Each structure stands twice: as C-alpha cells, then as structure tokens.
Amino acid sequence: MNENSKIIEQFNKGARNFDDWSVTQDEKSIKALADFCELSKSDIVLDIACGTGAFSLLAARYADNVKGIDISSGMVNIAKENAKKRELDNVHFYCQNVEDIDVDNQLFSLVISRSAFHHMKRYKNVFSQMVSCCKPDGRICIQDIISYDNKKLDDYFEEMEQLIDKSHYRTYTKREFFNLYKENNIKVLGLFESESNMDFYDYVEHTIQNDISRKNIDKLLMKGLADEEIASCLMEKDGHILWKRKVCTIIGSK
C-alpha cells in the first residue's frame, strides 16, 4: 500500500467524522485564516487538500471564486453536499491528487493549504505545484502543525499521531516551511506561530478507531503522562486531556 492509498482509505472511511470534528467546524479560526490572507472579492482561490471544504466554504463568502481539490472522494462528496446546503454557486470541488493537477495555469490569486502538509511525503513537490498555479503577485499560504523543538517530544508525538491517523506522514518544522518559500523565491509577507490546546480524545475520534487502536493510543498516552516532560504538553482540565500543539501559518507573494 503506498502513502496515497493510505490517505485515500483513511479519509474515505473517516470523512463524516472529520466533517463533524470541532476543529473542522471552528469558523472563528477559519475566518482568522481568511483575514490573515486578506481575502477579498477580487480573489480566485485554490484550496489544496480541501477536505470537506472547511476553508473553501467560508472563503466563498468573501472571494469571487473558489476551487477545492482533494485526493479523497469521500471528503470531496461531503464538501459538495456542504456547498449545496449553503446554496453557494461560486465554489467547486474536485477529486484529484495535488501532484497531478494541471500546473502552469497561473490562474489563482490565492493558493492555500490548511492542515494537510503533514500527510504529504513529497511536500516540496506539492509546494512547487502551488507556486505554478498561482498568478504573478498572487499569494501562497500554508497553515499546519509544526514539530516540537525537542527530539524526545517530537518522537513521542509522531508515534502518537501515527497511532491516531495512519495517513499521518511527518510533522514538518517551521524552518522547513520557511525554506519552501525561500527556495521557490516566494517573498514571505507574514508568518505566525500559535499554540492550540486540542481536546485529546476529540482528536482521537476525528478519525475512525477500533478497540485495538484505542487500546494502543491509551497505552501510549499513559506512558506520556508518566513522563514529566511529555506530560507538560498533555494538560488535564475539567476531566479532559488537552494536547498542546504548535501551528504555523505562513503567507508569501509570488
């Protein structure tokens, strides 16, 4: 099984859970991302790995036209349903691998990818595809989780990510994202790092689990809670475990 079939299988099976997940439904943070991108009525947007359309559907309220592409037909079908429910006719979704899209069309004024690079092995390739689709002077934005600045924490949480979501490939560093812009001569206009406190079990259930996977996740969680350093990223609050995660958002102009 190659990494793309893992992604397709995982997201086709878990599409409904993903769409219902609190983070997918968090309009406030999605609106903050649209504001960060200074989205306006003149924008033509390409949302790479759009999932069930969280960003695309909101962007359609502010931009002229939005195209979302995703490799999972399950995710795309829900995105289409969501657009129909909202009676939006300026947003369209397509099932495609971002690495296979027709590049060099330089059509889009904003090319964005939210929470998806950690699934992508050939992330440099994906970024050059994004650049090729972007018109001169257009903007390119990535928002994704970033790795911890500490190998022990990083190794532990990468193991946890892979137990929760088999299609997780690797959490990249802020430097790796920054270098994508530098290496492609994209001028960085803004970068910010934020910290999120994700509800651990809400995150676990955003994808399909079975008894064995739940048991393995619980076992690794117990191991982490017993370690002072790891436990500092797993706070207990009101009966919930909150997972401290850093997120990087970066935008540049072509």
Ligand X SMILES: C[S@@+](CC[C@H](N)C(=O)[O-])C[C@H]1O[C@@H](n2cnc3c(N)ncnc32)[C@H](O)[C@@H]1O
Phi and psi angles of residue 50, each rounded to the nearest 5 degrees, phi first: -75, -10
Length of the chain: 254
For the chain, the straight-line distance linking the first and the last C-alpha, in angstroms and rounded, comes to 36
| Residue ranges in 109-128 that form contacts with ligand X under rule CB under 6 A | 114-116, 119-120
Residue 200 near residue 210, CB atoms below 8 Å: no
- Counting contacts by CB under 6 A, is residue 81 touching ligand X? no
Alpha-carbon dihedral of residues 79, 93, 40, 61, nearest 10 degrees?
Answer: -40
- Counting contacts by CB under 6 A, is residue 251 touching ligand X? no
**Candidate list 54, 140, 234, 242; residue touching ligand X; CB under 6 A:** 54
CB of residue 227 vs ligand X: minimum separation in angstroms?
A: 27
Residue 128 near residue 98, CB atoms below 8 Å: no
How many residues interact with ligand X (rule CB under 6 A)? 20
Distance CA 40, CA 32 (A): 13
x/- map, 1-20, ligand X, by CB under 6 A: ------x---x---------
- Counting contacts by CB under 6 A, is residue 75 touching ligand X? yes
Contact window for ligand X (CB under 6 A) among 68-76, 131-139, 173-181, 235-243: 68-76
Residue 204 near residue 164, CB atoms below 8 Å: yes
CB of residue 175 vs ligand X: minimum separation in angstroms?
A: 22
Site for ligand X, rule CB under 6 A: 7, 11, 24, 49-51, 54-55, 70-72, 75, 97-99, 114-116, 119-120
